């Protein structure tokens, strides 16, 4: 898949005004797994532009077995073992859908807890942020600002050939041993990268608040 210069240029023009940062803070990594409130870190409906509604997800927390079933694979047991080997523990998912037909159809927000910061860093850099993306799908990287402990961005066609006519614009960032991902689903060519960065900034505020509460407990 060819890199689209126009997309890269559009992002470069918006980054100076929208760059996210973490204020140089450290994120606690040595707390018990159940102390990390992933739900409190999620985007809220009030963070999104007008014209969205939050989707009801009956079980928004996914362990490795549950998450392996989200992948398009004939061997969920093997995928579960692979996720465990990558140091993945659990995640929390929130999703929002547009109430009217337009270029942007949905926004999905996922926070994934890993065994340590090294595993989280590898997930960010090597394993597509822990998202359910099969190895056959070619990711198209995009430039992203510095966010917290590291960030990555890429476009994902919703099938290996791009035949669905839709694409996920993805921004991920890491806070300690947690990787956060924001995906917006849209028509190719109208990706709103500036919105992705604004949502990442807003989510980082929720994440920082959750860590402030954790560190004060």
143-176 confidence digits (pLDDT tens):
999 999 999 999 988 764 444 578 899 999 999 9
CB 112 within 8 A of CB 172: no
What is the H or E stretch that residue 168 is in? strand 167-175
Sign of CA dihedral 4, 196, 105, 51: negative
State residue 2's pLDDT score.
29
What average pLDDT score do residues 101-118 get?
Answer: 93
pTM: 0.88
Q: Which CATH superfamily is domain 38-216 in?
A: PknH-like extracellular domain (3.40.1000.70)
42: left (phi over 0), alpha (psi -120 to 50) or beta: beta
Q: Which residue has the higher pLDDT, 110 or 135?
A: 110
Classify burial at 9, counting beta carbons within 10 Å of its beta carbon; exposed 0-12, middle 13-18, buried 19 or more. Answer: exposed
Half-sphere exposure of 161 (CA within 13 A, CB side): 2
Q: Report how far residue 123's alpha carbon sits from residue 94's, in angstroms, rounded to the nearest whole number.
A: 20
What is the per-residue pLDDT across 32-49, written as a single tens digit (0 to 9) for each? 999 999 999 999 999 999
Q: What is the rounded (10 degree) CA torsion for 174, 3, 13, 10?
A: -110
Question: In which residue are the tokens 């989707």 written?
Answer: 55
Q: Is 88 a residue whose pLDDT tops 60?
A: yes
State residue 190's pLDDT score. 77
Domain residue extents for the chain: 38-216
- pLDDT of 17 strictly over 50: no
């Amino acid at each position: 898949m060819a890199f689209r210069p126009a997309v890269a240029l559009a992002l470069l023009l918006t980054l100076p005004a929208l760059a996210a940062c973490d204020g140089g803070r450290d994120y606690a990594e040595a707390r018990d797994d159940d102390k990390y409130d992933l739900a409190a870190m999620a985007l809220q409906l009030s963070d999104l532009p007008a014209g969205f509604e939050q989707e009801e997800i009956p079980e928004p927390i996914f362990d490795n077995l549950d998450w392996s079933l989200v992948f398009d694979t004939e061997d969920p047991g093997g995928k579960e073992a692979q996720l465990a080997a990558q140091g993945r523990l659990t995640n929390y998912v929130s999703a929002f859908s547009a109430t009217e037909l337009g270029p942007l159809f949905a926004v999905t927000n996922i926070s994934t807890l890993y065994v340590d910061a090294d595993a989280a860093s590898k997930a960010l850099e090597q394993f597509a942020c822990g998202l359910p993306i099969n190895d056959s799908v070619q990711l198209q990287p995009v430039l992203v600002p510095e966010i917290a402990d590291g960030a990555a961005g890429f476009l994902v066609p919703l099938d290996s050939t791009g035949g669905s006519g839709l694409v996920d614009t993805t921004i991920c960032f890491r806070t300690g041993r947690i990787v956060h991902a924001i995906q917006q689903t849209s028509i190719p060519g109208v990706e709103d990268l500036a919105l992705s960065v604004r949502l990442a900034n807003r989510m980082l505020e929720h994440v920082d608040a959750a860590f402030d509460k954790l560190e004060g407990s």
